[in-house]
Structure 1
Amino acid sequence: MQDDNMERNAAPSPVAKRDLHSLTHGELLELLEKLNQPKFRAKQIEEWVWEKNVLSFDEMTNLPKVLRQALATSCTLGGVQVAARQVSSDGSRKYLLRYDDGVAVECVGMPNRNKLAVCASTQAGCAMGCAFCATGAAGLTRSLTAGEIYEQVMHVRDDFNSRVTSVVLMGQGEPFMNYDAVLEALRRLNSPDGAGIGARHLTVSTCGVIPMIKRFANEPEQFTLAVSLHSAVQRTRDLLMPGVKKYSLLHLYDIMGEYVDKTGRRPTYEYALIKGVNDSEDEIAALCDFCRDNLAHVNLIKLNDVKGSKFQPSSDAKALEFVKRLAAVGVEATIRNSRGSDIDAACGQLRQNVEKNF
């Protein structure tokens, strides 16, 4: 009897609030129906959430006060806490953003004349374990939601007070190990009711998760694909990228051919030049063979410095040799400038901490 009384007198568990970013249009309509509000309010709410990126329900000035109060009672607007912000000498800005559960990720804004590119993360940490990358050193904490990926881009937009013209999902994490959330985020970034960024200016960078490349090729949108290759010699690639050992270069070559045939789009291969590891004559020849007669563009990146890493970047002369040799077999290649390397914001340098001079 005493136990029964204790159970009856126990306080009810609080109902968890839902982030408005996580609601589909249909779910938002259901919520408005429960609140006895007209359907047209959904469009107004979505504009405040996705286009204007408001941080408070009080900012939704075209909604009646009673609705704003009801939304505040049952929902949140997500949002991030800026744990750290750095500005590079080249104008790039790196942000360490912390979500409500304490998980933090980094993203980067890179201005160039009248354009603004964002490098966003899709996971907190990474499970792929690439030997030259700082992100994977601590492993994977968790995948991000579509709203959390989207919020990174909106945060950069608002900090620069400038429209974002392109996004690369090339920050922390392997996007194709978080496929559904990544596609949802891409579609919202592409939508005229979201960030309104053209599909061809939205790029996903993968280590080469073959089943997901195949799935990506069948999506209706013209999103862009980049593959982190880093070596066309199987033994070297296995050393550098243990997370994709089970996907052989032969199978990657085949699936990329299918991708090009299916989409008609040119993929990019990312290749970080590492002194004495993947810049030998055999490595150059293998890369030329892999890319020859294949619609592809090669981005050559001189390895960026990662604290504690045993790897060193190749020389400028070696990078130019790669460009020349690839051009000789009809493959376009460029040496990509690393943005934000002085604040550890370049490729392979992102990590989840507040070390150094934040």
Structure 2
Amino acid sequence: MTPHLFGLSPEDLVSFIQGFGEPFPLDQARRLQAHVLGDGKLDFIVKKPVRKTLQKKILENCAMHLLKMVEKVEDPVDKSVRYLFESPDHTLIETVCIPLLKPGHFSVCLSSQAGCAMGCDFCATGRMGLKRNLEIWEIVAQFWQVRSQTQGRISGAVFMGQGEPLHNYDNVIRAARLLSSPSGCRVDSKNITISTVGLVPQIKRYTEEDHPFRLIISLTSAVKEKRDALLPISKQWPLTELAEAIKAYALKRKERVTLAWVLMKGVNSGADEVAALKELLEDTPFKLNLIDVNDARENGYQRADEGERKAFLRILQELHVPIVRRYSVGNQSHSACGMLAGKRFKDLEMAV
């Protein structure tokens, strides 16, 4: 299989090209990667960051194609831009460019899988099932192509698009390294966030390997019966085991763990949740990100109204932890996570 230039570290590229009997100094590989990933240029034949014989070997033996852009939708309210890309094997990939509070700055929400195997009850992507893991180059290409379409600075990346990032652990970590490398896309590692619904063995591995990227854990409910129904993975890795993994991560990092809470009307905004959360993470420092559920006709869940949201926030105050309200993007244009690809999958099924 021909390796893609976007999926190779400088060390990988050196090893690969030297296999053809062509000497390739590491500093030249880093210069080439900085030109392609950092500067966003594929014209290295013209710019010549490496000598001609190496250029020929790379062109002959490395793929450099991009993802096909199928659809681009801008939300009229929050100004997020959602992209639907297509890989050469017709796999559909969603990516979102999210404007940040600082004018001219953006973050890219990346997909790690096509579809998802976790089956979260409130998630449009979870209803598709898992098609396949994305390759390293497909993850990096999302960032590279969105950056090339954006007027402003892409200063962050979040693995919170389609898929469970830790279910594609190795590819996600390697992609994050390429995104953060000084000779790669040059995103500050502290501005790269990887989310998970709670795959305990992978969280433990992540903690042991001590990666510099931020981890955010989607808790959503601290009541066992509710979380089992909302996030089926909780039946395999119960809340008690997840809490132990969260605590170990907090101790290793010496910082508060970020927990995501997808807020749903009449489901997970009561005093029972706060009491359960207090008991579950009594000795663990954490902060809570409240995120409104994406309204989707298929999942039957609705956003909490302002009164319910404020009441929940008042009860949460007794935990004495930082609470941040995050806003879902793309909902006004019906392009919230999983919706574009979901619609496209349905169109394809109807056409068959």
| 1:267 aligned residue (246, 253, 257) | 257
5 Å-filtered alignment, 1:300-339, equals 300-339=290-329
Q: What residue in structure 1 maps to residue 350 of structure 2? A: none
SS for the counterpart of 1:164 is: strand
Per-residue deviation, 1:67? 4.4
Coordinate RMSD, CA, aligned: 2.4
Q: What residue in structure 1 maps to residue 6 of structure 2? A: 21
Rounded to whole Å, the distance in 1 between the matches of 2:325 and 2:281 is 16
Assess if the C-alpha contact under 8 Å between 2:110 and 2:161 holds in 1.
yes
Q: What residue in structure 2 maps to residue 145 of structure 1? A: 135
Per-residue deviation, 1:24? 4.1
Q: What residue in structure 2 maps to residue 169 of structure 1? A: 159
Assess if the C-alpha contact under 8 Å between 1:132 and 1:348 holds in 2.
no
> Quick one: which amino acid aligns to residue 271 of structure 1?
W
After alignment, is 208-217 or 190-199 more displaced?
190-199
Q: What residue in structure 1 maps to residue 37 of structure 2? A: 50
Per-residue deviation, 1:168? 0.9
Q: What residue in structure 2 maps to residue 93 of structure 1? A: 81
Change beyond 3 A, Cα 1:288–1:220: closer
Q: What residue in structure 2 maps to residue 105 of structure 1? A: 93
Per-residue deviation, 1:17? 3.1
Using structure 1 for the length normalisation, give the TM-score. 0.87
Change beyond 3 A, Cα 1:313–1:348: farther
Rounded to whole Å, the distance in 2 between the matches of 1:300 and 1:311 is 16
> Quick one: which amino acid aligns to residue 63 of structure 2?
T
| 2:61 aligned residue (74, 84, 92) | 74
Rounded to whole Å, the distance in 2 between the matches of 1:56 and 1:159 is 17
Per-residue deviation, 1:32? 4.0
**Count of matched residue positions in the alignment of Structure 1 and Structure 2:** 342
Per-residue deviation, 1:230? 1.1
1:287 aligns with 2:277: yes
Unaligned ranges ≥5, structure 2:
348-352
After alignment, is 347-356 or 37-46 more displaced?
347-356
Rounded to whole Å, the distance in 1 between the matches of 2:342 and 2:298 is 16
Deviation track 1:225-257 (CA, whole Å, cap 9, x = no partner) reads 111111111111111111332111111112111
1:124 aligns with 2:111: no
Assess if the C-alpha contact under 8 Å between 1:135 and 1:350 holds in 2.
no
Assess if the C-alpha contact under 8 Å between 2:80 and 2:96 holds in 1.
yes
Assess if the C-alpha contact under 8 Å between 2:270 and 2:312 holds in 1.
no
1:195 aligns with 2:180: no
SS for the counterpart of 2:99 is: strand
Deviation track 1:289-324 (CA, whole Å, cap 9, x = no partner) reads 334443111111222111322122222122112222
After alignment, is 317-326 or 86-95 more displaced?
317-326
> Quick one: which amino acid aligns to residue 134 of structure 1?
A
Q: What residue in structure 2 maps to residue 10 of structure 1? A: none
> Quick one: which amino acid aligns to residue 80 of structure 1?
L
Q: What residue in structure 2 maps to residue 185 of structure 1? A: 175
Unaligned ranges ≥5, structure 1:
1-15
